[in-house]
Amino acid sequence: MRLATWNVNSVNARLETVLRWFEAAQPDVACLQEIKCVDEKFPAEAFERLGYNVAVHGQKTYNGVALVSKRPLEDVRRGLPGDDGDEQARYIEAVVSGPQPVRVASIYLPNGNPVGTEKFAYKLAWMDRLNAHARELLAWEEPFALMGDYNVIPEPRDAEFPKNWEGDALFQPESRRAFRALKNLGLTEAYLQADGAPGAYTFWDYQAGAWQRNNGIRIDHALLSPEATDLLTGVSIHRDVRGWDKPSDHVPLVIELDA
């Protein structure tokens, strides 16, 4: 099973680019973030024509996440548990059916900037909620993958110029500590497990020639339960997509599971 995560930075604005990648890469399941549309405006028919099932948790103009799967999606959950008043569409989860069912979540973790504001507090609180939910999922002892744009640079090696990010919420000690705490529950970071080579970035800003200078960061991650880690056979970052016409500032991260 080929699972992908990709922050598409507006699915409708970049639909031609997104569909081009789907046709070339043929993911079995894709976790999309920052779709920037309500459910009704998601271009489901375009994906259905390619043979995909779609589940969406959208929001007007901002945020929004989706799951796109060649296999049926069951037990769909929209929204991260722990705060009934949270109206931001940042989490969707479902079981991908098949001989070996796998639970998959698409995550768009809050950016948190500027540091010292309620936005940073919201980021850390959201990460605490994700930690609590991951604990519940681990208790079920089933294969699952928490995939998405985590808006966290885990280590200095995950940025071309780490010093440029020292004041940013993505690289704050609190953000990195919360990410480590999530992994320390017993989750495995797929990229580090299957590859781990430095310089493997998933995001390049549109400004100041970041792409041309390879001023990138690695903030898109796939965290796997022990049962999913046992199925992991490979990982790849589709770096070339950043050089396509009308690209997202993120590129797809793809993992392979023997499922």
Catalytic residues: 108, 149, 250
From 121, 146, 161, 171, select the one nearest 225 (Cα to Cα). 146
34 is in an annotated binding site: yes
Q: Write phi, then psi, for 81 (nearest 5 degrees).
A: -65, 160
Side chain identity at residue 96, one-letter code: V
136 is in an annotated binding site: no
149 is in an annotated binding site: yes
Q: How far apart are CA 223 and CA 35, in angstroms?
A: 21
111 is in an annotated binding site: no
By CB atoms closer than 10 A (0-12, 13-18, 19+), residue 99 is exposed
Residue 72: both structure tokens together: 């049926």
28 is in an annotated binding site: no
258 is in an annotated binding site: no
Distances (CA, A) of 163 to 156, 171, 197, 199, 202: 8, 10, 20, 15, 18
Binding site members: 7, 34, 149, 151, 249-250
Annotated binding site for Mg(2+): 7, 34, 149, 151, 249-250
